[in-house]
Structures are given as C-alpha cells and as structure tokens.
C-alpha cells in the first residue's frame, strides 16, 4: 500500500469540508475521486499535498506519517501534483519550468542529466514548442502538459491530478487517457479528481464518491455510478429514487 488515509477531517470555521474520510491506494492503481462541486475533492488533494493541514485523522505515505509534515517534505517523500488552475512559473522558460521539478523533490537531478530528463519528458508529453520559449507563450493545454512534466520529473510514487483532463478536446482527451494509463503501467499510484465521466469509466480501477465532505460510495466506476446515493447526490433526490 502506498497511501493510507484514515479519518481525514478538515474544517473551515464551522464548515466540515472533509469529514472523516478514509481510503487506500496500492501501487499501479488509478483512484477516481469524484463528487459534485463543493463536495471537498480539492480540499482532500490540498491536505494530501500538505497545502492544508488536516484537523484530525492519519495519512500514511509509504508507511510514513505525513499528516504533520510540511509541503516540501511531503514532495520529497514521493508525492507530486498538478493544480486545478494551472500554475506555470511565468518568468521561466518551458524547459526550466519542467526541470525545476526534478531538483529539490523525490528524485534529485542536476546538470546534464536534469536537462536530458526534462527534454525527454517534454517530448513524451507532446509539447512541441521550443524548450527555450517563455512558458507564458504556451497554450493552456501545453501549459497543463508542462505542469504534468514538472510533476513527473521527480519520479513520484503517488501522483495527484486535479482536473488535469478538463478542457481537452476529444482527440487530446484520448491522448491524455492513454498517457495516464502509461503512467500506471510504470507502477505509479494515481488519484484523479475529474468531472469527465468517460475518462473516469475508462481509466479508474476504483472510485471514491464524495458528497458534503463525506464518502458516500466506493467501488468500481460501473458500480458507483449506478449507485442510488451517488445519482441523487449528482442529480437530486427525484432521480435517485427512480
């Protein structure tokens, strides 16, 4: 098991954004974290990456408690993420944007080895622009690819993708899905937060469905998407009862 979450709770003021959430993740598994808007998915990602501190619960990454670690320490343990709204480093080139991910994190590279890795990843992810272009000149999709490359260069064991497939056209979506499959084949454990149901059906081994901060269902995509509680959470009670 690479990741074990037990009773994670996070409140903002009086609101419980995440309420006693528990799940597990094994190597080479893709877990879909789904639920309606505001159900607490991104908060879970933020707590896992250390951007927020949980109020209660226990999080273990590779058998190490990471609940009290700061963001950079968690990154060094082998967890990497992308952001819901892409965060590119504006004053750096494409190549630098990717390379910085492999200097301080889980895998540490420098010099020629770092450059080679960064260039390989850019090619693999299909960023065709020159490595020396300013990152701000890229299209939104290419910026997302650069961000994923930045996460992958450190060779993470757990990868968190927060709506990474959102906004892609059908062709790009197909490429994106096969790319994530390849990452799974390398033995990485991946959590995806997604609204694109096609992607969830074809990618996820397992899904955790959240509503109002709580886990309301867990299982294969086929099972949970047919679940009555899940349907009513997404579409309202009248559909859930039908």
Partner 1 sequence: MDILIGGFLLGGTYALMALGLQLQYGVARIMNLANGEMLVAGAFGAFWFYSGFQMRPFLAIVLIVPLAFVVNWAIYHYLLTPLVRRAKSRGQLEVDGILATFGMSFILVGLMLAVFGGEYFSYSYLERAVFVLEQPYGLNRIAAFCASLVFCIALVVWLSHTRSGLALRAVAVNPTAAGLVAIKVARTSAIAFAIGGAVTASGGALLSMFLTFDASIGVIFTLKALIIVILGGVGEIRGTVAAAFLLGLAETAVASLVDPGLTLAAAYLLFIVVLLVRPRGLFGSRS
Partner 2 sequence: MSAINRGKFILVALAFGTAALLPFFDTGYWLSLGVSLAMYAVLATSWTLFSGPTHYISLATAAFFGTGMYVVGGGVDLLPYPALVLIAALTGAVLATLVGLTTMRISGVYFVIFTLGLAELIRQVVTWVQTTFTSSSGLYVLTDITESMIYWELMSLLALVYLAGWMINHSRLGLALRVIGNDETVAAHIGINTAKAKVMLFIISGTVASVCGALLAPRWVYVEPTIAFSPMISFQVVIMALLGGVHRLWGPLCGVIPFTLLWEVIAAQFPNQTTLLLGASFLLIVYFIPNGIAGLLENFPKQLQSKNGG
Report d(CA 134, CA 68) in Å as an integer: 36
CB of 225 to partner 1, least distance (A): 33
Give the range of 76-84, 125-133, 167-175, 194-202 binding partner 2 by CB under 8 A. Answer: 76-84
Output 91 or 171, the one with its CB closest to partner 2: 91
Q: Are 48 and 79 in contact (CB under 8 A)?
A: yes
Query: In b/e form, how buried is each residue of 93-126, taking b as 16+ CB within 10 angstroms?
Result: bbbbbbbbbbeebbbebeeeebbebbeebbeebe
Q: Does 12 bind partner 1 (CB under 8 A)?
A: yes
Output 10 or 145, the one with its CB closest to partner 1: 10
Give the range of 13-21, 55-63, 80-88, 216-224 binding partner 2 by CB under 8 A. Answer: 80-88
Give the range of 79-87, 187-195, 216-224, 234-242 binding partner 2 by CB under 8 A. Answer: 79-87
Output 152 or 199, the one with its CB closest to partner 2: 152
* Binders in 159-188 for partner 1, by CB under 8 A: none
Output 106 or 157, the one with its CB closest to partner 2: 106
Q: Which of 15, 26, 103, 137 binds partner 2 (CB under 8 A)?
A: 103
Binds 67: which of partner 1, partner 2, none (CB < 5-8 Å by kind): none
Q: Which of 39, 42, 143, 154 binds partner 2 (CB under 8 A)?
A: 154
Give the range of 18-26, 43-51, 201-209, 232-240 binding partner 2 by CB under 8 A. Answer: 43-51
Binds 170: which of partner 2, partner 1, none (CB < 5-8 Å by kind): none
Q: Which residues bind partner 2 (CB under 8 A)?
A: 49-51, 70-73, 75-76, 80-81, 87, 89-92, 100-101, 103-106, 110, 150, 154
């Amino acid at each position: 098991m690479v990741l074990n979450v037990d009773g994670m709770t996070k409140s903002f003021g009086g609101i419980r954004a995440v309420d006693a959430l528990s799940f597990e993740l094994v190597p080479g598994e893709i877990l879909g974290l789904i639920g309606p808007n505001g159900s607490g998915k991104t908060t879970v990602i933020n707590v896992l990456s250390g951007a927020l501190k949980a109020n209660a619960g226990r999080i273990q990454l590779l058998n190490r408690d990471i609940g009290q670690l700061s963001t950079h320490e968690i990154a060094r343990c082998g967890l990497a993420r992308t952001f819901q709204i892409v965060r590119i480093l504006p004053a750096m080139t494409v190549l630098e944007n990717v390379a910085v991910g492999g200097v301080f994190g889980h895998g540490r590279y420098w010099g020629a080895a770092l450059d080679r890795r960064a260039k390989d990843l850019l090619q693999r992810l299909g960023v065709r622009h020159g490595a020396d272009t300013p990152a701000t000149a890229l299209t939104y999709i290419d910026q997302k690819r650069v961000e994923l490359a930045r996460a992958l260069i450190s060779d993470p064991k757990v990868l968190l993708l927060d709506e990474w497939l959102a906004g892609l056209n059908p062709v790009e979506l197909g490429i994106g899905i096969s790319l994530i499959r390849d990452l799974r084949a390398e033995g990485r454990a991946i959590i995806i937060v997604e609204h694109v149901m096609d992607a969830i059906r074809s990618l996820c081994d397992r899904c955790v469905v959240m509503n109002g901060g709580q886990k309301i269902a867990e299982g294969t995509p086929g099972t949970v998407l047919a679940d009555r509680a899940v349907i009513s959470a997404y579409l309202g009670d009248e559909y859930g009862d039908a």
